[in-house]
Amino acid sequence: MGRILVTGACGQVGTELVQALRERYGADSVIATGHVTKPTREFRESGPFQYLNVLDMERIAEIIVDQDVEVIYHLASVLSAVGERNPQLCYEVNINGTYNVLEAARRHKVGSIIYTSSIAVFGRGAPKYNTPNETVMIPSTMYGVTKVCGELLGTYYHEKFGVDFRCVRFPGIISAETLPGGGTTDYAVEMYYAAVEEKPYKCFVSRKTVLPMMYMPDAINALINLAEAEPSRLIHRVFNVHSMSFSAGELEESIKRIIPSFKCEYEPDYRQAIADSWPKSLDDSAAREEWGWKPAYNLQRMTEDMIERLRKKLKGKEDTVGEKSGL
């Protein structure tokens, strides 16, 4: 088997995906790449890392050939909230970058491409509840527009050129390890951090805002399980994946069951309109039937694990500061 290349490896999903892939296939088998976000020293030292701008197709091709790349996880992307502040950059990275990865993979016969899309592809006209795998896609953000384009490009490359393109549509992703990177669902992670740090939190969506979410361990399993799925079982190329749906207020209450003193206020900003345009839940029956998708976490189990992990993380930082100061 050739090696695995991960674009956007320093992002929220990429950081934990690289770790999981290296544990599964061996550190030297997974090449992490990034462009804007600087990797930590531990991340660089855990296995191969190369700087890569996905707008540079020749550099992508060079890494594919020189490193004998067989599988690409294409995660490099400008997210929704950042994309609305800078739609031109969002277009360049998300559309042209994805085209470059697909075209380089076609030219150099990469085995498969695993692409991360989003619920942002849906918008006006799509059912809000139990949104089908195949339905109208009229997104209201540049991020959503670019993800629709990425899905269609990948499907075209599969049908026209035989590129083994596989895609998951993620809901909001919640992680204890890596800070969010400018998405509309960032409030969920920020709420957990504030609670563990014993700080009040001002939420940028309303208390009643319901969105589908997923805990990072489930997200990593979804990507790897889809990548390893038997090709003959796959009827679709793009898959909804669903785990749980809850309101911002329900998230607050789940935290208060463990940290009763936590205080949260709600002051919606421009991201409220983005959240309102997205589905509340997804029909992921295609993923369950074709490659056995099944999430492991619900809201309360996720909250318990998040708080436990963040407390350990915070204590570790405090211990490090104490050692450096001689305390």
CB-based burial label for 70 (10 Å; 0-12, 13-18, 19+): middle
Cβ-contact 60, 101 below 8 angstroms: yes
Cβ-contact 187, 266 below 8 angstroms: no
d(CA 123, CA 144) in angstroms, rounded, equals 9
d(CA 39, CA 17) in angstroms, rounded, equals 14
Cβ-contact 108, 61 below 8 angstroms: yes
Cβ-contact 141, 91 below 8 angstroms: no
Query: Catalytic pick from 91, 143, 187, 192?
Result: 143
d(CA 57, CA 60) in angstroms, rounded, equals 5
Query: Largest alpha-carbon pair distance within the chain?
Result: 64
Q: Which residues is 31 bridged to in the sheet?
A: 5
d(CA 298, CA 87) in angstroms, rounded, equals 34
| 99 counts as catalytic | no
Cβ-contact 88, 21 below 8 angstroms: no
CB-based burial label for 212 (10 Å; 0-12, 13-18, 19+): buried
Catalytically active residues are 143
